[in-house]
Amino acid sequence: MEGGVLVQRWLCTRAIMPDGSPGAIWRGVAYPLLDGDCIDIGPQSVQDRTMRHAVVAGEEASWVLVQGVPRIFEAARRALDSVGLEVSRSGRWLGDPVDGVAYDWFLRCPGALDPAAVAAALGAPPPAATATDRAAAVPILEQRIADLLAELARVEAAMPRIAHGRARRSRPGLH
């Protein structure tokens, strides 16, 4: 709910708020649980007092990803505009989570953006880790590729045994 208006139905993880009252986690943020097992996303949550965002750098453009309801998205757009950062396109973020966070909105800006400047414009601390550090991701991706290749080799090695087992089961009288 946002100010008493139903926004979305979603199964959330229950949590205990710092004051001991029941709460629920929605999009990584804890909210007090209201009567009827609802949360109100209108007020600020206990865990997130600043705008949650990330900067994803591309070769010709950068994307500022924002988490929250539409009014937070509009506030982010106004904040970027107020410091002269051009927003060429914006809307719902349908991409994958970034750094483990499922963002709701994107603002596409031409060129490279400085994550610290974006954070300052949004009135938020700079993200501890941004998606712009591709060099740091390379060893992780290389390890993941090696793990997948090893798994593929194990599956390929097991294929003759699997095929043999299927052939035996498909013969009449060998069930």
Domain boundary among 13, 32, 48: 48
Number of domains in the chain: 3
Residue 167 lies in a domain: yes
Residue 67 lies in a domain: yes
Whether residues 61 and 41 share a domain: the answer is: no
Whether residues 59 and 117 share a domain: the answer is: yes
Whether residues 79 and 114 share a domain: the answer is: yes
**In which band, very low, low, confident or very high, does the pLDDT at 140 lie, cut at 50, 70 and 90?**
low
DSSP the chain: -BTTB-------EEEE-TTS-EEEEETTEEEEPBTTTB---SSPPSS--S--EEEEE-SSEEEEEE-S-HHHHHHHHHHHHHTT----EEEE--S--BTTB---EEEEEES---HHHHHHHHTSPPPSS-TT-HHHHHHHHHHHHHHHHHHHHHHHHHHHHHHHHHHHHHSTT--
Domain boundary among 122, 146, 166: 122
Whether residues 37 and 1 share a domain: the answer is: yes
Whether residues 112 and 58 share a domain: the answer is: yes
Question: Tell me, what's the pLDDT at 171?
Answer: 60
**For 45-102, what is each residue's pLDDT tens digit?**
444 445 788 898 877 889 999 987 788 888 899 999 999 999 999 998 888 888 778 8
Query: At which residue do the structure tokens 């500022």 appear?
Result: 64
pTM for the model stands at 0.50
Residue 101 lies in a domain: yes
Pairing, β 105-110 against β 61-66 = antiparallel
The residue range of the domain holding 19 is 1-48
Whether residues 68 and 117 share a domain: the answer is: yes
Whether residues 44 and 57 share a domain: the answer is: no
Residue 127 lies in a domain: no
